[in-house]
Amino acid sequence: MRLPLVATASLSLVTLMMIAPIASGDGPARPGGDERLQATFRDYLNELFRREPLTATSLGDHSHDDRLDDIEPAARKATLDFKRATLETLSREIDPATLSADGRVDLDIFRNALTRDIWLAENFKPFEEDPRVYGDYTTGSVYLLLTQSSLPKDANLAHAMARMEQIPRILSVARRTITSPPKVVTETAIRQAEGAVAFYTTELFELAGQKPGEGPLGAKAAALVPAIKAHVEFLKKEVLPRAGENWRIGREKFARKLEMELDSGLGADEVLAEARREANRVQREMEVIARQAWGTLFPGKVIPTDDPAGRRELVRRVLEKVADDHGTAETLVDEARATVGDIKAFIRDRKILALPEPDQCRIIAMPEFMRGNSVAYLNPAPPLDARGSSEYAISPPPADWSKARADSLLREYNRAMLKILTIHEAYPGHYVQLEYSNRCPSLVRKVLSSGTFAEGWAVYTEQMMLDQGFGDGDLGLRLNQLKFYLRAVVNAILDHEMHAGTMTDDQALDLLMNRAYQTEGEAVGKIIRSKQSSCQLSTYFVGRMAFYRLRQAIQAQQGESFDLARYHEAALSHGTIPVKHLPALVRRTLALPAEDHKPGL
């Protein structure tokens, strides 16, 4: 179902979809090519969903909501063989010459997604080496049904209880499969498993609107909780003692994985070199802003010396002063909610782009079982069930943190930074972008989305909103925006050096705290995150530069006729695609002549 958008003076999303002709020079497709590709993809999804019911649910297909995956090694190997066979079918049966320009983009996305999945399965062993994956089946499988499915409540509850009966089977596989994972990953898995106990004791019943422990749901939960507690003990007493520090993936794997993750035509060394240059540029800009703010924030005090150490002190002290204005663990979520009204009003008034209506974004406290990887996330409405809701989740400091560490995190997410976070995660960042994406007519693009595009758009919007006047020139807000962007830039450096290099925790802390001005709580969390994932941290910077530089090029080309909302809607109208395709598709939508595009930041 396509939801209407708020009317603006710019192109509506529906219009954008209708005016996308084949780019000049591509030539017409022969009849049937696009249809054959889409049919192949539909057949692939149907079989994949049969094999992976949780994947189906997460994408919004509810035909297997009462089942959980067979995750035994033989079943996982069979799925891998199925993906290899599908890739061979694409090569054999889909001739690119029979496809339209859009069809060739879809083919590229489908083929590269299969190639990436196969390579990852051949080179990594998450079921053996990442016990967090079992949490997706243990808790996420039920949580998704009760929070995002648009099926009737009774159906979702019935499916949830059917899945709860199957969770002990999943945990049995975990006991037989987990080997010697990294310690940092195991510790997060333990915290999340403990959160799962709390979920089936309290949160489950809150979501279901029932009293804890009562009725059939209570009986199912009571039967399941001991199995999850036993899993916690297994992780603590058997897995943790044999866990090691084997979290680096190495230079060769990092380079190949990053190439496939970004799908932008850039190599790992190119990204690292550009990130270092950009970090220096952003630091200089922060120094200028801090110098402007000093006199107001520190009246009568002498500004620090104008040398490298003095400039770092200048920026740090101004940031610390702005950070004095922060909430508490109890108010963090409510204060994020309070930022939304002003941000949405600004987007409408300044014609940034058309906001999706009705607004389906809920702002929630991150469930305990999902904490441990990031402070906030946007869980979007599933692309195949666009009537479902999206969740902008914020994590208060974990309960087991010391007061000093918790205060450090709250200072990091002060009231100015919360506004930037809400821009990034929700308006006009992830929530708005993914609502547009869910309206894209291509099934391939609905399902196979690019993290580089999604993160890049969200980071791009932070500066764009302030450049258009949000915050009325508040220097503290601008400095936090630059700090948030610097974090994205430094993420790429950290990602590379932690997995393709030999960076130590102390060196990482120095990079994050002294180079990127992060508080200790945020820095420690980012180091933990960098050890638990690879290549994802680079997507923010690479994606943002793709959006920013394309915007600059098109604005310069159009001059006075440039319409910001029209550009934004054109950029979002083609789905969450690899950024390498963005220039040609946006230029086509805006009826601009195609330009030779070379990969690069």
pLDDT tens figures, 242-280: 999 999 999 999 999 999 999 998 999 999 999 999 999
Q: How far apart are CA 521 and CA 397, in angstroms?
A: 9
Q: What's the pLDDT tens digit per position in 7-21? A: 233 333 222 322 233
Q: For residue 26, is pLDDT > 50?
A: no
For 512-529, give the secondary structure using H, E and C: HHHHCCCCHHHHHHHHHH
Chain-centroid distance of CA 373 in Å reads: 12
Rounded to whole angstroms, the maximal C-alpha distance in the chain is: 76
Q: What's the pLDDT tens digit per position in 327-379? A: 998 998 899 999 999 999 999 999 999 999 999 899 988 887 677 557 888 88
Which has the closest alpha carbon to 394: 333, 323, 341? 333
Q: For residue 52, is pLDDT > 50?
A: yes
Mean pLDDT throughout 179-201? 96
User: If you ran DSSP here, which 8-state letter would residue 239 be given?
Assistant: I
pLDDT band at residue 601 using 50, 70 and 90 as cut-offs: low
For residue 25, the model assigns a pLDDT of 36
Q: What's the pLDDT tens digit per position in 449-485? A: 999 999 999 999 999 999 999 999 999 999 999 999 9
3-state secondary structure of 475: helix
Q: What's the pLDDT tens digit per position in 540-573? A: 999 999 999 999 999 999 999 999 999 999 999 9
Q: For residue 2, is pLDDT > 80?
A: no
Q: What's the pLDDT tens digit per position in 278-305? A: 999 999 999 999 999 999 999 999 999 9
Q: Are 11 and 569 in contact (CB under 8 A)?
A: yes
Q: Enter the pTM of the model.
A: 0.89
- The enclosing H or E element of 91 equals helix 73-93
Q: What is the CA radius of gyration of the chain?
A: 24
Q: How far apart are CA 177 and CA 436, in angstroms?
A: 40
pLDDT band at residue 3 using 50, 70 and 90 as cut-offs: very low
Mean pLDDT throughout 60-82? 98
The verdict on whether omega for the bond into residue 428 sits within 30 degrees of 0, i.e. cis, is yes
pLDDT band at residue 145 using 50, 70 and 90 as cut-offs: very high
Neighbouring-strand partners of residue 394 = 365, 376
For 560-596, give the secondary structure using H, E and C: HHCCHHHHHHHHHCCCCCCHHHHHHHHHHHCCCCCCC
Q: Are 59 and 144 in contact (CB under 8 A)?
A: no
For residue 16, the model assigns a pLDDT of 30
**Helix 520-532 vs helix 183-198: angle between axes, to the nearest 10 degrees?**
100
pLDDT band at residue 31 using 50, 70 and 90 as cut-offs: low
3-state secondary structure of 600: coil
Q: Are 476 and 319 in contact (CB under 8 A)?
A: no
- The enclosing H or E element of 498 equals helix 475-499
Q: How far apart are CA 540 and CA 242, in angstroms?
A: 34
Q: Write out the two tokens for 287.
A: 């120094």
Q: How far apart are CA 294 and CA 68, in angstroms?
A: 57
For residue 577, the model assigns a pLDDT of 97
Place of tokens 């005090």: 301
Q: State the chain's mean pLDDT as an integer.
A: 91
Lowest-pLDDT choice from 1-15, 78-92, 105-119, 465-479: 1-15
Q: For residue 213, is pLDDT > 70?
A: yes
Mean pLDDT throughout 573-580? 96
Q: Which residues of 534-567 are buried (b: 16+ CB within 10 A; e: fewer)?
A: bbbbbbbbbbbbbbbebbebbeeeeeeeebbbbb
Q: How far apart are CA 555 and CA 339, in angstroms?
A: 30
Residue by residue, DSSP assigns 117-145 as HHHHHHH--HHHH-TTHHHIIIIIHHHHH
For residue 30, the model assigns a pLDDT of 53
